Structure formats: structure tokens, C-alpha cells
Amino acid sequence: MPAPDVTDAALAAPVAGSMPARGGLVGMVTAEATGTGLLVTAIIGSGIAADQAFPDSPGTALLVNAITTGAALAALICTLGAVSAAFNPLVTLLARADRGLTTRQGLAAILAQLVGAGIAVLAANTMFALPPLTLASTERADGPVLLGEFIATLGLLLVVALTARTGNITRIGLAVGGYITAAMWFTSSTAFANPAVTLARTGTDTFTGITPSSALAFLALQAVALPATYLLVRLINRSIP
């Protein structure tokens, strides 16, 4: 299958050309499950470690969590981007909407992301000698926080979509990792911006956890950000030669 025109298909996932650049469906599924799993492990694991190291300083703990998350995300995109590096069902859906993926590829990628995230929350909890699965008790879904989650998700998807048109995996990795590091501080929601990550974080009653009810509200705002991003990218791309 020929690679799509990146200039015209700016919503492709963060790799050069299309998600399954090499390795076919098996390679794509393996990369998505592995990358999403390692990302979730970095988020939850660094949150637990930071909270243990700085129990009386949540700001410092968040700083450690944000830097670790952004660095891990950038590294994973740069490492796996030649095969597949969406790690986010929303990014995958954008790629499918712009015909960067087939329906079969998109569904396989999303399933892999969810499975990878689910395994990772068990591993992260266990790694710090906690029960493998503990229902989160942190409520996050008030109005201002939900606005923050919408903004965080919209910004992330814009960064992915508009840097993808460059076809430069390193640039995409640095841009996405940098944005997430910043958004974890400048948004009130601390920038979940990923349905697979959001669902996984309901399974850890630690620094990065979120209650199932709050997670449902986050998922709704993430879903709203998806078509908004699609329209914005279309408008922006009209002015880009």
C-alpha cells in the first residue's frame, strides 16, 4: 500500500507516512501494545515513586511525574515510530478518519493499546509492592478540571496532527513529549488526554489514579476534543502550502 501524502493527510499517526510503516499488522499491534504499556508504566510508576519521595510536596511530585512522562513518551515515539507509535486511541481514530489506516488496522491498534495499558497498571502497582489492582479513589471531574482535560486533549491532538505532516519521527517525539510535560502543569486536569491511559489509571489508588466516575467524564471530554481537532486541522492546513 503506498504511503499517504503527508501534506494532505496531516492527521496520520506520529510516524512518517502511515502507522504500519514496517512489520505489517503484527508489528503494529506489538509496537502499540508495548509502547502504550511502557507509557502507562512510566506514568503510574513515576507517580508512585515521586509521591513516596516527596509525600509533603505534591507540586514536586507532579514535576517529577511530568518530566518522566514527557521523556518516556518522546523516547517511545522516537524508538517505535518507524513501526507504529500512536499509543492513544484518539490518535488512531484521527489517522483512520484521514484514511491513514484501514478499519482493521485501526481496531487492532486500539485493542493493542487497551491491552498494553491494562497489563501495565498491574505491573506498575506490583513493581512498588502494591496490590496489582486497586480501585482509584481520587475524584477529578469538576467543571474547571473537565475544561482543562478538553484543552489538554485538543492541544495534544493538534501537536500530533500538525507535526505528523513533517514525516520526521524525532521532531514528532520531541514535540509530543514536550507538550505533555507542559500540559501536565498548565491544565487543571494534569493532561490525561488518552482514553487508554485514563482507563488504566482507574486501577491504581495512587498519585496518578482517577475514580471510574471521573474517568467517564474525562472520556466524554476527550471524545468531544476529537472532532474539534479534526476541524481545526482542516482549517489550519488550508493556509499551509
Question: What is the reported pTM?
Answer: 0.89
Mean pLDDT over residues 15-44, rounded? 80
E strands along 171-221, which residues?
none
pLDDT of residue 16 exceeding 80: no
For 17-30, what is each residue's pLDDT tens digit?
333 345 689 999 99
Q: Helix or strand or coil: residue 4?
A: coil
CA 118 centroid distance within chain: 14
Mean pLDDT over residues 221-230, rounded? 97
pLDDT of residue 71 exceeding 50: yes
Q: Which residue has the higher pLDDT, 9 or 229?
A: 229
Mean pLDDT over residues 197-215, rounded? 98
Give, in degrees to the nearest 5, the angle at Cα 204 between 198 and 210.
45
For 153-199, what is each residue's pLDDT tens digit?
999 999 999 999 899 999 999 999 999 999 999 999 999 999 999 99
List of residues 6+ apart from 73 with CB closer than 8 A: 39, 42, 87, 173, 176, 177, 180
Angle between helices 169-186 and 58-80 (to 10 degrees): 160
**pLDDT the model gives residue 20:** 38
List of residues 6+ apart from 175 with CB closer than 8 A: 159, 163
Q: Are 175 and 241 in contact (CB under 8 A)?
A: no
- Give the residue from 123, 104, 102 showing the smallest Cα distance to 112: 104
Mean pLDDT over residues 120-140, rounded? 97
% pLDDT > 70, the chain: 89
User: Where is 28: in which H helix or E strand?
Assistant: helix 24-53
pLDDT of residue 3 exceeding 50: no
* CATH node for 24-237: 1.20.1080.10
As a whole number of angstroms, the distance between CA 120 and CA 91 comes to 20
For residues 211, 213, 218, 224, the Cα torsion angle rounded to the nearest 10 degrees is 170
Confidence of residue 5 (pLDDT cuts 50, 70, 90): very low
Spans of all domains in the chain: 24-237
